[in-house]
Amino acid sequence: MLPDSWRGVLGDELDKPYFKELVAFVEEERARGPVHPPREEVFAALEATPFDQVKVLILGQDPYHGEGQGHGLCFSVRPGVRTPPSLRNIYKEMRDDLGHPVPDNGCLLPWARQGVLLLNAVLTVRSGEANSHKGKGWEKFTDAVIHAVSARPDPAVFVLWGNYAKKKFPLIDTERHAVIQGAHPSPLSAKRFFGSRPFTQINDAIEAQGHKPVDWRIPDLG
């Protein structure tokens, strides 16, 4: 299920003992009850943003654990699902930073298709139990994703919101890539997130790297 564009840089991970143990664990979890997202969407972030098109990597923690919410992209929810609090705060900051209207949906695929890799550190979760698949092996795999992007000659912008994401800073070659750090957009730390103007920072860094900036507007679905 690993997308072809990532297979060349991540294919070896699939043969390592930790990954085989991880797959067995997730399958056991699915046999016991609901696990999010569905199998076909576990690698949705990598599918939506091919390896050679990554301009920005935004790191989340683990998928939404509510039924029908997550679809494999960090902070994003399916069309028709109520926008979660952290994403609402991201939208508010986008409005204040760039003047873009707050959209009527939380689907971030338009960002992903422009080269924004929306990567969670953990790619599955037991329904109703946040962080329930933490420490089972996903972190090793997603660290390999971060390392692969960092090892590319083509520069990217890494966005680390919150203390959990900031721990990944040592994985990034800061001589080649830009790193933007800030408070997490969750309601617990939103006061420090608001006013940080991350979207302007990201686009300035993208342009300095010779790439086309991201159009952060999310279309209304009506």
Active-site positions read: 62
d(CA 205, CA 61): 24
Q: Tally DSSP H helices, then E strands, for the chain.
A: 9, 6
Residues forming beta bridges with residue 60, ordered by sequence position: 120
- Other Cβ atoms within 10 Å of 44 Cβ, number: 22
- Other Cβ atoms within 10 Å of 82 Cβ, number: 12
Residues forming beta bridges with residue 126, ordered by sequence position: 35
Residue at 204: amino acid letter: D
- Local structure of residue 214 (DSSP, 8 states): P
Burial 189-211 (b: 16+ CB within 10 A, else e): bbeebeebebbebbbebbeeeeb
